[in-house]
Amino acid sequence: MSAVEKKAMITIKGTQKAQNEAPQTLEFITGGKLQRFGRKLRVSYEESELTGMEGVTAAFEVEDGRVTLERSGKLHSRMEFIEGKKTESLYSMDFGAMLLGVTARRVESHLTDEGGSIYLEYGVELEQNFLGLNTYDIQVRTVEEAQRA
């Protein structure tokens, strides 16, 4: 199956709220790709020093009410977000792997071939211990769409 691929500008705002701590927010804009594979849409970009994950490719895939975040390169992980459900995944780095659990409280996607948004709100567990709440607010505009605005 051939993919449709477009260059995109991606704005990502991520917030982490560990228990008993003030939220930490990171917001950045980066270039990436928006691809369609049949019914699946994929937004991907290269992580940077800013995120602390230089050498890692991040990809959000949207299909049938489910969002998957896959990272590859210096670390490997695949987290699935299904609203109201807990999923587990291995988070593998050079020095070892950890078992992460994510419970998606809110999963919204308004993504089309021209761009759109993804919003995730989820709880995170490490080795069965609750760490905190995270959110991702992702805005995607294809380069073509941005030039028309």
| The pLDDT of residue 47 | 86
Question: Would you call 63 exposed, middle or buried from its count of C-beta atoms within 10 A (0-12, 13-18, 19+)?
Answer: middle
d(CA 2, CA 134): 34
> pLDDT (tens digit, 9 = 90+) per residue, 23-63?
999 999 999 999 999 999 999 999 877 677 788 899 999 99
Mean pLDDT, residues 128-139 taken together = 94
User: Domain extents for the chain?
Assistant: 4-148
Looking at residue 149, its pLDDT comes to: 59
Work out the mean pLDDT of the chain and round it to a whole number. Answer: 90
Residue 124's alpha-carbon distances to 34, 129, 145, in angstroms, are 27, 8, 35
What pLDDT band is residue 147 in, cutting at 50, 70 and 90? Answer: low
Burial 73-100 (b: 16+ CB within 10 A, else e): eeeebbbbbbbeeebebebeeeeeeeeb
CATH H superfamily, domain 4-148? Calycin beta-barrel core domain (2.40.128.20)
Q: How confident is the model at residue 143 (pLDDT cuts 50, 70, 90)?
A: confident
- Yes or no: say if 47 and 142 are a contact pair by the CB < 8 Å rule: no
pTM of the model: 0.89
